[in-house]
Chains A and B, each alone.
Chain A
Amino acid sequence: MAEHTVKAYDEELTALAGRIAEMGGLAETTVSNSVTALVTQDLDLARATIEQDARLDELFQEIEMGIVEIIARRQPMGRDLREIVAAGRISNDLERTGDLAKNVAKRVIAIDSDLTSKKLAIGVEHMTELTLSQLKKVLDAYTQRDAPAAADVRERDREVDAIYTSLFRELLTYMMEDPRSISQCAHLLFCAKNIERIGDHATNIAESVYYMVTGERLGDERQKIDETGVVVK
């Protein structure tokens, strides 16, 4: 796209997109570290992850202030307006992603013992890998302004939901078999739920990117398949 007549406006928009990219990278690392800390019971890494989240909060605030300033000074229109609205929403989703990862890290410290089941750890890891790949794809879609890629990310969220549902069932079984595992399993359940929520944030970002690029909203045809509500009867 052609440049703005006022060059400073271009610089402000570029800086905004740069900050979003930085936030995105940081959010990915935070999520990945928190789960690594969980499966390896690495308390130092967990603590470092908790600290890392502070930088995400900082970036979120900087972006918000930047957006307010651009709106006040430039009165953005058209594509610029959508870009700025999307940046605000995406930074919000990334900030929440960081909070959820921080919560996983805090639970690592609370569990403070090796995981009873390797199988469960593998399940959480697998779910995280998928979620991280979703997050990475959607952030790439943001930098490349790629609407079809964003739509694809939203479509694939159901896979994350499916893994969460099966993990939920598995954790229930463990808890019923051995009540001593309830404390650990409850923490793991929250961790899995957090990861699943991170997947939802990736979906939100996908919707924001799609709107930013096309000016249209993705339809509502996608169905929620979180079946955990059905399992508990």
Chain B
Amino acid sequence: MYVFLFMVISFNDYYSQDTISLKTIDVITLKENISQIGKKIEPIDSIIKQQFKFNSVADLLNLNSSIFIKNYGPGGLSSSAFRGGNASQTAILWNGLNIQNAMLGQCDLTLIPNLLFENIQIEYGGSSSLWGSGAVGGSIHLNNNLEFNKGLHINTNIGSGSFGLFNFASDVLLSKKRFATSIKFYRTSSENNFPFNDPIDKTSVLKVQKNADYNFNGLMQEFKILINPKQIFTINTWLNYNQRNLPSYYESNQKKRQQLDISSRIIANWVYFKSKISCSIKAAIFNDFINYNDSSSEIFSKSKSQTIFIENENFYNWKRHHNFYFGINMSNNQALIKNYESKKYLNKASFLIGNKFSFLNGKLISNVSARVEYFSVGTLPVTGGAAFEYRLFKPITIIFNAAKVYRQPTLNELYWMPGGNNNLKAEQGYTFEGGANYKKQLKDFLFQFNGAIYSREIENWILWIPSQNGSSSAINIQKVWSRGSETTLKLNYQKNKIKLGSSIMTSYVLSTIQSSQQENNNTLNKQLIYTPRYLLNANLSVGLHNIYFIFYHQYFGYRYTTSDNSQWLNPYQVSSCRFNYTFDVKKINLSLYGSCNNLFNQNYYVLAGRPMPLRSYEFGITIKSI
């Protein structure tokens, strides 16, 4: 869990002061800062975030990171494939707590709208010692950052688009000297009846996607109280109600399948801070309810799961720039579905200890951490990590980190009947990363480059494989080695009211199966399914006074659809663009926005059997009180 700290501009400045200027405070997380040492980090900048305000986190990451997003189509499930890992090996952290569903071990990024969060960051690489189980391939940080003393602000957005898309979102912020609250509401719905070309029936005219409509609703509220200059109390509440029909592309007889996802998440956080000490106590309760109905197949599945967290973390600045920290985390997961024998529980308690060091006048920063954990089913490894960051000379920083990472089995993997296996071991392994960051400002030009290479071996990788009666069993079956590189190159120009920018992000992933317990297995040294070796994301932006335009182009390489690499999907390239025009009318700020997706009308599939729309449009208006 992370600690909210009020800081004056930077972390170091915070520790140099005994009192805090409330007018200039900025809330960041100390633990996030520590976890980012020696890592490749991709913050989503405010302009980009604004452009994707009414899209999902899946859309945002798909276009602005080197993560491969497995997308089942608009409104469909989206999950992340981080550095050759799977969705369960990514930590999705809301204000520092993992919101992955305890039964499934993943959460649907389509159901998370960007507008709920003030700050979104991508942390590449494993950090199990800091973030716990699941932070194997990387972490996605979704943070709220309510500020004091900002007055009253109201934003409303109405948007529309192709295939019956309708967006409505509104948020109200009331921010006083010692108290701040915000409420955000959103609704997104779509008929989602887009046309597509059928790769099987090539002679046919365009087909229309059926039974794919969706309706997503949510509400987030935050209260923050400054009890006194040393204490803050925050409560975040997030409610979701999402309905969607699930299409089936190849079925001749379209069946009605529906899924309802309801979730409620509440975090209460108390933070105490002084010049050298800060601590936090956090309690949270996350509930997920998933109702899947397929009447034609007589499948009526209802599942309820709950996760309760209690966490304490403490930071002590024992010497200038040296920070010692420790904490405990206790969680209880419980879930009920008819496929379990009865209500099932997982209890976990962990102890975290670590230290951040700074040497050579801040040129060398390092962090060392360790975590021991008790797990009610089986044992979990002792994990730890070490990270270093060295500023070679002014524009160049070299990074390195090594860590032991793990993922504990999910409730379904342990208890699903048939096939669950309560003798499963945690997936675990080691990860290493090295890289360099370069940043240079030349007059009006800013040039940035960062590159990283990594290697990660995971043992006891869990797979569901066939067992009796055509059902499946979860087994620790294979060892996977993921290695690769990532680069980000950015060039920006800014003068007066002109802003020009470009960025190119690349990813090369080789994620292969090193060993398997199955006889006559043909997967050794083969690439994992749906893990493209090559990925490229490029964009070009132009900002002129109050008009902003950005063009995206993406390339995704071959995605194998079988583990023996005997079948694959061809690479695809897709382009899109977005614009934004902002102007003021008296005390109201208006923003017109629009986007065109799949600009060149490409026929493409991210996943087999899941058609993506041809060219589509989206537009809307945002009204903001100044």
A and B part of one assembly? no
Residues of A within 8 A of B (CB): none
The chain B residues found within 8 Å of chain A, CB to CB, are none
